[in-house]
Structure 1
Amino acid sequence: MKKILIAIDYNPSSQKVAETGYELAQLMGGEVCLIHVMAEIAHYGMQYPTFMGYDGYDAGAIDIEMMNEMHKVTEEYLKSAAKHLNDPAVITHLTEGDAANAILEYAAQWNASLIVMGTHSHSALEKLLMGTVASKVIEKTKIPVYLVPVKKD
């Protein structure tokens, strides 16, 4: 059986990506997993003590409660996205880290047949300086990737 991994983020265009990936999976008779990658949670939960009028960086002061809340909110987002597809067989996976690497690692672990992603419209300068998640996945993948264009009109 085919396994279709659909990468979504908080961008509203993810609805189009999820729906397109799901339709493709239905045509292929495949299983669907929606994946969302959170940035390193620790970045959101840092406490910054003030010294000399400056809010400094304290790598040891991670707010666990905030991290747990971020995780919970993201899990709810994934559940809502899966529910939108109206298919109880759709599964979800939440992970953390560099988005491209996390998508590729889970795709290999889950034995995905295809990765579905959106391509956001970025300027040439943005692509040159930081690349995009889609381009990084394409560069490193051994699994076919189906890209859904999600440019704003």
Structure 2
Amino acid sequence: MKRVIIALDFDPSAQKVAEEGYAIAKALEAKVTLVHVKADADYYSSLGQVVVIGFSGHQKDAGSIPSDAIDPDAISQEFLKKAMLHLADKNIEILVVNGTCADSLIKTVNQLKADLIVIGSHSRKWFENTTIGSVTQKVMLSSTIPVLVIPTNKNFD
């Protein structure tokens, strides 16, 4: 395996996904690319406080931030740069992509000719998983390469 893609979102579990995915990639002597699929500006303005891998985003006491004042590209780039610094490897590539999460991730994996996808599995309520599915499930069903799912929550509803 020569290239490992680690998919990260702003969930606090992203740190665990990044660390475990990176450890596996290093053991395989593979190149690492951290990928974040960018959402629209409304998502970033509604995050409240985001603290993950040293990233401190919008503060709750800052009030409502209008969507047009948010730069999702800059926020996403900063998030991935801090993840790279946390992993202490300047050779890690970072990539922010647009689109729907699962589809954009699969497209990126194919473009980069990756050999492994590392993604977290957020514990969701059973009803949500059966009606709309999860990004992780969609990636697993669409991928032509192995997908390593890092469980991030043991509490199942």
Aligned pairs, how many? 134
Shift of 1:152: 5.0
Unaligned runs of 5+ in 1: 46-62
| C-alpha distance 10-141 of structure 1, shift in aligned 2 (>3 A) | same
Which of the two has higher C-alpha Rg? 1
TM-superposition CA deviations, 1:61-87 (whole Å, max 9, x none): xx99535x2211111111001111000
2:145 maps to what in 1?
143
Shift of 1:2: 1.0
Alpha-carbon distance between aligned partners in 2 of 1:112 and 1:140, rounded to the nearest angstrom: 14
Alpha-carbon distance between aligned partners in 2 of 1:139 and 1:8, rounded to the nearest angstrom: 19
Unaligned runs of 5+ in 2: 45-65
1:75 maps to what in 2?
77
Shift of 1:18: 0.4
Q: After TM superposition, which residue ranges in structure 1, 4 or more long, deviate above 6 angstroms?
A: none
Letter in 1 for 2:144: K
Identity of aligned residues (%): 37
Alpha-carbon distance between aligned partners in 2 of 1:134 and 1:17, rounded to the nearest angstrom: 13
1:57 maps to what in 2?
none
Indicate which of 54, 65, 69 corresponds to 1:66.
69
Letter in 1 for 2:37: V
- What is the TM-score when the length of structure 1 is the normalising length? 0.81
Alpha-carbon distance between aligned partners in 2 of 1:91 and 1:151, rounded to the nearest angstrom: 27
Alpha-carbon distance between aligned partners in 2 of 1:94 and 1:129, rounded to the nearest angstrom: 28
SS in 1 for 2:34: strand
| C-alpha distance 151-132 of structure 1, shift in aligned 2 (>3 A) | same
2:94 maps to what in 1?
92
Letter in 1 for 2:29: G
Alpha-carbon distance between aligned partners in 1 of 2:41 and 2:103, rounded to the nearest angstrom: 18
Alpha-carbon distance between aligned partners in 2 of 1:103 and 1:44, rounded to the nearest angstrom: 18
